[in-house]
Amino acid sequence: MSLRPTVDFLLHDWLKVESLQSRDRFADHSRETFDAVLGTCERIAREKYAPFNRLVDTQEPHFDGEKVILPQATHDAYKAYAESGMLSAAQDYEVGGMQLPYTVEAAANAFFAMASVSIGSGMLTSGNANLLMVHGTDLQKQVFAANEFNGRFSGTMCLSEPQAGSSLSDVTTRATPDGEGFEADALGARYRLKGNKMWISSGEHELSENIIHLVLAKIPDANGQLVPGVKGISLFIVPKKLVDTHGQLTGERNDVALAGLNHKCGWRGTTNTLLNFGEGKYPVRGEAGGGLDGAGSGGGLDGTGSGAIGYLVGKPGEGLRCMFHMMNEARIGVGMAATMLGMAGYYASLDYAKNRPQGRPTGAGGKDASQPQVRIIEHADIKRMLLAQKAYSEGALALALYSARLVDEQHTGTAEDADVARLLLEVLTPIVKSFPSEWCLEANSLAIQIHGGYGYTRDFPVEQYWRDNRLNMIHEGTHGIQAMDLLGRKVLMENGRGLQLLAERMLATAAKAEANWGPEAAALRDALQQIGQATRQAWAGAEPAQALANAVPYLQAFGHTVIAWIWLDVAASLGKDNAPAAQGRQAACRYFFRYELPKIGAWLNVVSSRDPTCADLPEEAF
Amino acid sequence: MSLRPTVDFLLHDWLKVESLQSRDRFADHSRETFDAVLGTCERIAREKYAPFNRLVDTQEPHFDGEKVILPQATHDAYKAYAESGMLSAAQDYEVGGMQLPYTVEAAANAFFAMASVSIGSGMLTSGNANLLMVHGTDLQKQVFAANEFNGRFSGTMCLSEPQAGSSLSDVTTRATPDGEGFEADALGARYRLKGNKMWISSGEHELSENIIHLVLAKIPDANGQLVPGVKGISLFIVPKKLVDTHGQLTGERNDVALAGLNHKCGWRGTTNTLLNFGEGKYPVRGEAGGGLDGAGSGGGLDGTGSGAIGYLVGKPGEGLRCMFHMMNEARIGVGMAATMLGMAGYYASLDYAKNRPQGRPTGAGGKDASQPQVRIIEHADIKRMLLAQKAYSEGALALALYSARLVDEQHTGTAEDADVARLLLEVLTPIVKSFPSEWCLEANSLAIQIHGGYGYTRDFPVEQYWRDNRLNMIHEGTHGIQAMDLLGRKVLMENGRGLQLLAERMLATAAKAEANWGPEAAALRDALQQIGQATRQAWAGAEPAQALANAVPYLQAFGHTVIAWIWLDVAASLGKDNAPAAQGRQAACRYFFRYELPKIGAWLNVVSSRDPTCADLPEEAF
């Protein structure tokens, strides 16, 4: 059981990615170059990731007082990933990139997520560097991004704080201009940062020569006050170790200190940290970092901490806008991680089901105990649990790659196509992130169930997939945040044009599928109508709090409708193919329409009626 | 937030357990004696269990080559539990019991399950002893059961084998009569057992002086062959250490050897073992164990193992029938464990939600960031996640206590009432076990979600509840087994009379609720009709394999209908009460009818149509 044929089918037969060759940017690419990238990633994932997935779960990162110690396997995997060139896969040739379509890059990264999501690929590092390529100065690109692309440096994103998780407007990390003399610092306007950042993945380790933190912080106003809300937020590059304008380490450490490691339920191979910025553990003069003569205000060596040195990215107050560039990629990445955990569990339980003898078929006269046991894949309920996993996971993978294809369209399509792609992505991103977070977690639970008691032991991989996957509904915007984003913003924006565009695509699929998939096409049209009606009724004359009270059920119904559409589109593309793989996809489509899509009615009921049962309940009644 | 008021409400206001005083068996009991038992259990759970729940998760049992080492806290909790008298709570006064109604016993044990499910109460031990009180000889009761009730010995149930998990007909543990001379052994007909038993909870430890294994094994026929199927299965008492007829240890160890500890995803405080019976690690002569002169065939000391000594319980071939007595109690116990994990997560997340500030309400003009953050319980989606947990967990608790009340009715009601109670229990047991296994697990996931990133760390208790709870869909009969039991046996037995009786009770509730809960009463009647129709259509002219292909969706729909009924009955019992607690229960009822019950349509569709999508898919298409 290999992921590769599924990926190949989705990329080539369904999405026709080779057609991207007609774009200038991708003119040098072909099926052969795509295959080479996928083959390399598949091999590295098989050799350097998969064998160590349980090991990194067991040997959690620990802090020896000076350094965070990770298993050798993580170092080896990091090195192999960096050497593959994937960190800069999407970048221009001139900065050493491959100009690979994002669709292919996302597909290639899927192999790592499936092999060991918690060893991790370079998603944060390349996302960090990609952001700098868009919003950074030339020197920031050269010093920071380029060294992230080549793997010398790694990257983080620092948004949350202990008192401000989902609520970024409450960020209190403070960035003070570092005296007059530093305004012209070649690496960017220089600030001193003080504050605490929570949940920072890969915030401290020895995998790379340096760690480049992208940090959201607020610049105080003239009275030294922080502006409330998200408008006051700016974005800063805060390297763990100071560098000069050539990207060389100056030998001085920046004042970014590990305050603690988070001990998680799963995803234990990835270091997750609480970081203190500028609290004085590593007091920093910072003169050598391209600064002037040390006469600035920031050169304190008094041990109380004058702040960690940070370089402004973009304009003051535009931090969140810049960061969103990275957050959208991160959300697609989270969805892909959840998806690939789902696939991993599917393959593991499929393998188990094909080999484990247990029980007998129920015949007309009951079970005949004198017959040998059958393999459990012969039981209907095991098949149901396998097909559910396939429908959730492959459906989510198809959606993720479809969305990646929209990213390529946004970047290389005609202006009109790019705009359509942008809007579709706005509407689909919450689903790409939330559907697999919820349903591929459910898939992992089914994978455990197929294994019976064995699935609940650490001798089999599925319990770890399930634990790892539970994070995905939380990080990079919780389920609730995705739901508010969808119902409160995305389906309304530009007068509902995003939703309209999505509806058009769904109707086009229904029309295409009509001949062979009549009942499913009708069911999709009906679901779409229900979504439209619930959207209108949720907002009809309502206060936002009322409209959004049932945003999560709305998100769930929307997600199921989107995946039904994706499956119907896949199934319609198969024509009359009846090879086993095609039969499997047709069955997954049927499964989704018969077992899953009918659930949307229950979810949408409470949206349409703006059911106040939960919102109105007084606190003391719980 | 205390469980006690909820338990008191359910026991007294709703179930009116004091009315049991009118039964001879319970004549000495009163609200005061019930309160004393609940108070004692609440206190022991608070002092000896709750503080150590994380500790037993971290310090897993380990085998030092001779002994299984458990934390001191587990020893202390075991001792306190035994001293409470709860092990024999339901037994007659004359054997030292309290003659406590099972309803109150179950409620009292709930406190332990909530405080630390994996330290565990004495469920297996008292279940084991209760079985012997029904099926054992006088001496077996005296030697084994009595010493389990007083805590000197503990008990296990040994059903599964590595090659036979859910499929008991494939048990291959072999029990050979131990020579002519031992037939008259006072402790029961003596056999030698050889075989392996898997997933044995508390199979090896030093908590008690001895461990009494109840083991399913097959007695070979005249040709030395094992009879296929469940009919050949007999039940044996196999003590870890041999005892004399006074219950004293003879000093000789029986040949029951620990082959391995299972390392689980959760529920780590409970030792779970693979046991080898009679493989020669502890070769046993067994003369002192009440046997004759050692001339029997079993006295081998050759180290190859002549088998572990076991004493037959009941008649040969009736082992499964005897064991089912214990399995039904065990299934209710599993449901209660799942339920109390759900409650534990609910209380933990309610506490967190009341104290964690984060974000602001969505006003007409958006969020006003200049205002202080509010506590997250003020957000509608947090309330939704709290109310869902309450509806699942308290609903499941109410059902479990309702079922426990049926057990009391079965044991002390009139012949007619007892028979009705028996049949209702047959139908409800799969739900009592399966509903909380699935939905209180979902509740735990919501408890994590409310905590955000903190919920995913081991610094908060909720991730452990979620891991612990995942076992409950697996042990004591998987979800699939419960579903086959329900649709394949329970709703059909005695010409569907059990289902009919349940329907009558539901309709009685609907009638009672009509005045204040009209729409809900109608929805319950409608759900009941859908269940009846789906049951008929599933079986109409179908082969069993077809009828049962969608047994799990049937189980899910049935479970949701049962919990809706329970909530409506609870709500109807409240009258016009509008105290906060009553408001909370009314809201949970509304929540369940509006958000949950509508889901049954999607589940029942595939049952009614006998949807073959999963069952018909050939293996190679996955």
Q: What pLDDT score does B297 carry? A: 44
Spatial distance between the Cα atoms of B389 and B447, rounded to a whole number of angstroms = 8
My answer on whether A232 and A326 are in the same domain is no
Does B384 contact chain A (CB < 8 Å)? Answer: yes
Interface touch A613/B606, C-beta < 8 Å: no
Tokens of B124: 């297996």
CA-to-CA dists, residue A451 to A367, A386, A458, B314, B615, angstroms: 22, 11, 12, 34, 19
Per-residue pLDDT tens for A414-467? Answer: 999 999 999 999 999 999 999 999 999 999 999 999 999 999 999 999 999 999
Can you state the percent helix, strand and coil of chain A, rounding each to 5? 55, 10, 30
My answer on whether A95 and A158 are in the same domain is no
3-class SS string, A47-89: HHHHHHHHHHHHCCCEECCCCEECCHHHHHHHHHHHHCCHHHC
The answer on pLDDT for B12 being more than 50 is: yes
CA B497-B501-B502 angle, to 5 degrees, is: 120
Query: Do the strands A241-243 and A249-253 form a parallel or antiparallel pair, or are they unpaired?
Result: antiparallel
Spatial distance between the Cα atoms of B142 and A529, rounded to a whole number of angstroms = 70
Helix, strand, or coil (residue B205): coil
**The total number of structural domains that make up chain B:** 4
Interface touch A618/B583, C-beta < 8 Å: yes
Tokens of A389: 């996993």
Is B140 within a domain? no
Where is pLDDT greater, at B332 or A185? B332
The answer on pLDDT for B505 being more than 50 is: yes
CA-to-CA dists, residue B609 to A526, A585, B546, angstroms: 20, 21, 10
My answer on whether B398 and B287 are in the same domain is no
How many residues does the structure list for chain B? 622
Interface touch B458/A606, C-beta < 8 Å: no
The answer on pLDDT for B181 being more than 70 is: no
My answer on whether A516 and A467 are in the same domain is no
Cα of A234 vs its chain's centroid, Å:
23
Interface touch A362/B611, C-beta < 8 Å: no
Set of chain A residues whose Cβ sits within 8 Å of the Cβ of B452? 165-166, 474, 478
Is A397 within a domain? yes
- To the nearest whole angstrom, how far is the Cα of A508 from the nearest Cα of chain B? 26
Which residue(s) pair with A253 in the sheet? A241
Per-residue pLDDT tens for A94-110? Answer: 999 999 999 999 999 99
Q: What is the mean pLDDT of residues B216-236?
A: 92
My answer on whether A447 and A529 are in the same domain is no
My answer on whether B259 and B300 are in the same domain is yes
A532-541, B163-172, B605-614, range with the lowest pLDDT = B163-172
CATH code, domain with A297: 2.40.110.20
Q: What pLDDT score does A293 carry? A: 40
Q: What pLDDT score does B405 carry? A: 96
Which residue(s) pair with B13 in the sheet? none
Q: What is the mean pLDDT of chain A?
A: 93
Per-residue pLDDT tens for B15-36? Answer: 999 999 999 999 999 999 999 9
Does A526 contact chain B (CB < 8 Å)? Answer: no
Per-residue confidence at B291, pLDDT binned at 50, 70, 90? very low
Q: What pLDDT score does B255 carry? A: 97
Tokens of A600: 């949307």
Per-residue pLDDT tens for B529-556? Answer: 999 999 999 999 889 999 999 999 999 9
**Which of A555, A539, A611, A433 lies closest to B384 in space, CA to CA?**
A611
Sites in chain A below the pLDDT cut of 50: 183-184, 288-303
Spatial distance between the Cα atoms of A457 and B264, rounded to a whole number of angstroms = 4
- Other Cβ atoms less than 10 A from the Cβ of A4: the count is 13
CATH code, domain with B337: 1.20.140.10
My answer on whether B322 and B277 are in the same domain is no
Query: Which of B476, B494, B523 is the endpoint of a domain?
Result: B476
Is A244 within a domain? yes
> At A23, phi and psi to the nearest 5?
-85, 140
Where is pLDDT greater, at A29 or B166? A29
**Which of A66, A328, A68, A313 lies closest to A193 in space, CA to CA?**
A313
Does A168 contact chain B (CB < 8 Å)? Answer: no
My answer on whether B567 and B453 are in the same domain is no
CA A452-A455-A461 angle, to 5 degrees, is: 155
Choosing from A105, A394, A476, A596, the catalytic residue is A476
Which residue(s) pair with B272 in the sheet? B201
Kindly indicate whether the ipTM for this predicted assembly is greater than 0.90, answering yes or no: yes
My answer on whether A462 and A482 are in the same domain is no
What residues contact B124, with CB distance under 8 A and at least 6 apart? B154, B155, B156, B157, B201, B202, B330
Does A222 contact chain B (CB < 8 Å)? Answer: no
Closest Cα in chain B to A349: B622
What residues contact B540, with CB distance under 8 A and at least 6 apart? none
Spatial distance between the Cα atoms of B339 and B113, rounded to a whole number of angstroms = 9
Facing A614 at nearest CB: one of B383, B478, B581: B383
Closest Cα in chain B to A579: B621
Spatial distance between the Cα atoms of A390 and A427, rounded to a whole number of angstroms = 24
Q: Is the dihedral of CA B375, B379, B383, B386 positive or negative?
A: negative
Is B132 within a domain? no
- To the nearest whole angstrom, how far is the Cα of A56 from the nearest Cα of chain B? 16
**Domain limits at A241?**
153-317
Is B620 within a domain? no
My answer on whether A303 and A158 are in the same domain is yes
Does A54 contact chain B (CB < 8 Å)? Answer: no
Q: What is the mean pLDDT of residues B181-193?
A: 80
Q: For residues A72 and A53, is the Cβ–Cβ distance under 8 A?
A: no
Which residue's entry shows tokens 């006064």?
B93
Residue A476 annotated to the active site:
yes
Q: What pLDDT score does B361 carry? A: 83
Q: For residues B162 and B196, is the Cβ–Cβ distance under 8 A?
A: yes
Does B620 contact chain A (CB < 8 Å)? Answer: yes
Q: What pLDDT score does B294 carry? A: 41
Does B317 contact chain A (CB < 8 Å)? Answer: no
Spatial distance between the Cα atoms of A387 and A408, rounded to a whole number of angstroms = 31
Is B545 within a domain? yes
Q: What pLDDT score does A182 carry? A: 54
My answer on whether A394 and A261 are in the same domain is no
**Which of A408, A94, A388, A117 lies closest to A264 in space, CA to CA?**
A117
CA-to-CA dists, residue A617 to A14, A483, B379, B587, angstroms: 48, 21, 11, 7
Interface touch B265/A466, C-beta < 8 Å: yes
Interface touch B457/A621, C-beta < 8 Å: no
DSSP state of B164: B
Does B508 contact chain A (CB < 8 Å)? Answer: no
My answer on whether A50 and A159 are in the same domain is no
Interface touch A453/B199, C-beta < 8 Å: yes
Is A140 within a domain? no
- Residues 535-554, chain A: which have Cβ within 8 Å of B? 543-545, 548-553
Q: What is the mean pLDDT of residues B258-282?
A: 96
Spatial distance between the Cα atoms of B87 and B93, rounded to a whole number of angstroms = 13
Spatial distance between the Cα atoms of B262 and B198, rounded to a whole number of angstroms = 9
Spatial distance between the Cα atoms of B160 and B173, rounded to a whole number of angstroms = 10
Does A232 contact chain B (CB < 8 Å)? Answer: no
The answer on pLDDT for B169 being more than 90 is: no
Q: What pLDDT score does A294 carry? A: 41
Facing A453 at nearest CB: one of B165, B591, B598: B165
CATH code, domain with A49: 1.10.540
Helix locations, A70-219, DSSP H: 72-83, 102-116, 123-135, 138-140, 146-149
Is A242 within a domain? yes
Q: What pLDDT score does B290 carry? A: 38
- To the nearest whole angstrom, how far is the Cα of B616 from the nearest Cα of chain A? 8
- The structure's pTM equals 0.96
